[in-house]
Structure 1
């Protein structure tokens, strides 16, 4: 342990000095306390970490804590961690890779026992590769960075999107728009440019595959990084000639301003345009009409991520590293049934 090393004493001596038990000279106590203050440690937690070699903390990095999906997942992580005697330190990155890199470094400096990271990038992952090389337990949450070999907890975003597309096709929809917050332009999405977030890449791939197989017409709407931008983009999209008959929203924070934009235009869901979201949330059950959505078990995903991380910290865990939980498509009242002859 760094405190013992800095003070020049054994772990057991440092633990006794900080825990206030056993026989330790006043001079040694002062040395250990000074080392603890230098490193920013204090109290009983430090004594425990000195004696066990662990901090009993885990670091969690998410991209948007205001997103209900991540908020519920963090609650699941925190509940499981508390049950196991671990504390959680949380960092929010706003999908900024530099903020993510800085947060990971802070957590490593604080000697967290493991990390759970919802990465903002697929390719700029040197900081995560460093964690793996250090043999610090790492669980990737939701997203799948390239070349990072670690446990990943999430869902099958490709299959979820195909399920929604199939549902729309069964209801006669042949012209759809997919709205996401990726920074890539529609032209870059169409050209197949690598997307920074694997879940959005999976959904775009599903749409393209569905189009190739069934002749589905689609538009890719991107760059809606705020409710205001989403409202403006949907307003423009639905006011243009040849508008889509259905909108697929990437996640719930985009679905609400889209719903509001439809209402503001004087259009009706689902009579004039259908609306589906790839992430469910509470307001969708009480809106008029209720919105069809993919229910993602975000709390359970958080619990599972924490379970795996804690098992890895303890030196165990499952043999596989890919941990996918099932989702459910919840059909409500926001998808209209069109004639198959509708252009």
Structure 2
């Protein structure tokens, strides 16, 4: 053969089995690459009695945040030889549980999920499960989680607004039941309290843009905040639209900081201040953690918080205190 080994030895190496000498392995892999060899995943699955499938459950793939997170997960899984099955929960706990059960019936080897309601069905899983973006109801449930430090980012955004001279602050969020919301409320409240202020918290009843634009317009008219922290890009969009309808000038009359850093936000006048979260890295880290659990490794940190970057732009301007 081209690699100078028997067919049986080549098959074992290409199938991922151990026991071959490193030099022989290197020759076989080099020959396979030169010949354009692609492994037959079905044959490999049948031979090993493994599916080489990973399930991913996210609330909304049309949301740019979750689309980027998915790409991070998919890249790591693909490089490890796994295919990915995607399910959309729509932030619905019952749908999430059905998806979990379906994926288990398809014999996925692990699941990455952004739990919509604490993932109460987690105990039904017979394979490793890693949560992303938010934690399960029981922080110690599952095989780990990967989020950003939401307390810290909300604290820093609130402090920056107050230090710039804003005094009537509002935190606009949705999904009151998830850990992300709780941590952001805690961080913003702490920063305000340390500076002798309170921060108003307003939770949206919907996460759809058409629903929240009028709701936010009513809120801004009644509460009259002079600074707003938006929980995501959809809420930020609604704030920008509502502010324009009400004739509120961002920056001068009302400061604005939002979670998620979308390209269009830097193009507005004034440009929108953002909290940039390492979304792709969240997906990659979660998938890597899942791979280690599938491979039987119990080493390394199971609970991971990544840092976000606060980008102050024209929508936050220094005012006289």
Instruction: Verify same fold: TM over 0.5.
Output: yes
Count residues with an aligned counterpart: 280
1:136 aligns with 2:102: no
Q: Secondary structure at the match of 1:269?
A: coil
Does the CA contact (< 8 Å) of 1:308 and 1:317 recur in 2?
no
1:161 aligns with 2:154: yes
- Provide the aligned C-alpha RMSD in A: 1.7
**TM-score of the superposed pair, with normalisation by structure 1:** 0.78
Alignment partner of 1:177 out of 170, 173, 180: 170
- Report deviation, 1:52: 1.4
**Counterparts of 2:173 and 2:145, CA distance in 1:** 23
Does the CA contact (< 8 Å) of 2:143 and 2:293 recur in 1?
no
Does the CA contact (< 8 Å) of 2:129 and 2:142 recur in 1?
no
- Report deviation, 1:78: 1.1
Alignment partner of 1:47 out of 43, 54, 65: 43
Does the CA contact (< 8 Å) of 2:207 and 2:234 recur in 1?
no
- Give 5+ residue unaligned stretches, structure 1: 1-43, 183-194
Q: Which residue number in structure 1 is paired with residue 279 of structure 2?
A: 298
The alpha-carbon distance between structure 1 residues 221 and 126, as it changes in their structure 2 partners (threshold 3 A), is: closer
- Report deviation, 1:196: 1.8
Does the CA contact (< 8 Å) of 2:289 and 2:302 recur in 1?
no
**Counterparts of 1:138 and 1:254, CA distance in 2:** 30
- Give 5+ residue unaligned stretches, structure 2: 1-39
Alignment partner of 1:327 out of 302, 308, 319: 308
Does the CA contact (< 8 Å) of 1:142 and 1:155 recur in 2?
yes
Extract structure 1 runs of 4+ deviating beyond 6 A. Answer: none
1:230 aligns with 2:227: no
**Counterparts of 2:299 and 2:148, CA distance in 1:** 17
Alignment partner of 1:104 out of 100, 103, 108: 100
Does the CA contact (< 8 Å) of 1:224 and 1:233 recur in 2?
no
The alpha-carbon distance between structure 1 residues 164 and 289, as it changes in their structure 2 partners (threshold 3 A), is: same
**TM-score of the superposed pair, with normalisation by structure 2:** 0.83
The alpha-carbon distance between structure 1 residues 324 and 213, as it changes in their structure 2 partners (threshold 3 A), is: same
**Counterparts of 1:175 and 1:67, CA distance in 2:** 30
Q: Which residue number in structure 1 is paired with residue 259 of structure 2?
A: 278
Does the CA contact (< 8 Å) of 1:255 and 1:277 recur in 2?
yes
**Counterparts of 2:131 and 2:212, CA distance in 1:** 28
The alpha-carbon distance between structure 1 residues 216 and 99, as it changes in their structure 2 partners (threshold 3 A), is: same
Q: Which residue number in structure 1 is paired with residue 269 of structure 2?
A: 288
**Counterparts of 1:287 and 1:126, CA distance in 2:** 41
Q: Secondary structure at the match of 1:219?
A: strand
